[in-house]
Amino acid sequence: MKFEVIKKDGNARRGVLTTAHSVIQTPVFMPVGTVGAVKSLDAFDMSEILDAKIILANTYHMYLRPGSKVVREFGGLHGFSKFERSFLTDSGGFQAFS
């Protein structure tokens, strides 16, 4: 993974985040797929219609449902969701301890 700052203006910045799955211009719209999917949208919709480069998922919620065994059986989060671009995962620490 690599992040390159392209331009700065005060505290704002524009950059490029390169991951194994996509190149992401920032700032970026990042749909929230708490359990690895965005309600009412499939991987095709996310990639082709919204052109989402990255989805935010919550590890704690994924652990609760569908569970790590199910995700592992699909070959990980990409296999489970069928979304081939990048994921940012939140640990879910806030939910676990609140």
Q: By percentage, how much of the chain surpasses pLDDT 70?
A: 100
| pLDDT at site 89 | 94
Is residue 4 pLDDT above 90, yes or no?
yes
pLDDT (0 to 100) of residue 34: 84
The residues spanned by each domain of the chain are: 28-97
- The pLDDT of residue 36 is 81
The more confident residue out of 1 and 98 is 1
pTM, two decimals, is 0.86
Mean pLDDT value of segment 38-65: 94
Q: Tell me the HSE value of 45 on the side-chain side, using a 13 A CA sphere.
A: 8
Q: Answer yes or no: is pLDDT of 78 > 90.
A: yes
pLDDT confidence of 37, banded at 50, 70, 90? confident
Q: Is the pLDDT of residue 10 over 90?
A: yes
Q: Which letter, b or e, does each residue of 27-65 get, where b requires 16 or more Cβ atoms within 10 Å of its Cβ?
A: eeebeebbbbbbeebebeebbeeeebbbbebbbbbbeee
